[in-house]
Structure 1
Amino acid sequence: MILETAILFIKPHLASQFEVDFIKASQYISSIQGYLGHRLEKCLEVEKKYLLMVNWNTLEDHTIGFRTSEAYLEWRRILHEYYEPFPVVEHYETVFENKI
């Protein structure tokens, strides 16, 4: 499993509308083969800061499967206007995990 992460900074005074539109846009990312789930976390200390985490089966499911799809064009159309600056997306694989 691959974890995609992005720290999202939302333009001032648009956080509430971003959250509404994020829910709408979620249907597009979740339609992609290899998608395993995603979460959006809101920062408690910085009002306009969010953390996006998406689980993919493989790196290519995100970088090729999603990024070259019609679904991505819709995701981008709905969400990209909110970002300032544009987020850096990174991918991680688990080295160690301890669960209770």
Structure 2
Amino acid sequence: MAQHKHKSWDRRSWTVTPAQGEPFTVATSEGATWALRALISAGHEGLRPTDGASGRFCLLIGKLRDLGMSIDDLPAEDEDGRAGFKLACKVEQAR
């Protein structure tokens, strides 16, 4: 049976600073790294997946929340009711 090996570019450590409480460090890999980078890039406006993969993105948001990251849901702004998200904490790549 083949063993899955993470690619070096998809595994990262992050320092998370919540609105209240002490900073902590988490590690992401694969899709969770991609989703977190997308949230960071989206900034205070947040993002709404538009490529038809919103269900997959919601699962990745759940993984990030399970790591302790505070992520807000954005209200639907169109008739499709697309899910939207934005970071509610400060996240930086750990050094």
Q: Report which structure shows greater RCO (CA 8 Å, sep ≥6).
A: 1
* Both proteins in one fold, TM over 0.5: no
- Normalising TM by the smaller chain, what interval? 0.3 to 0.5
User: Given the two structures, how large is their TM-score scaled by the length of structure 1?
Assistant: 0.37
User: Given the two structures, how large is their TM-score scaled by the length of structure 2?
Assistant: 0.38
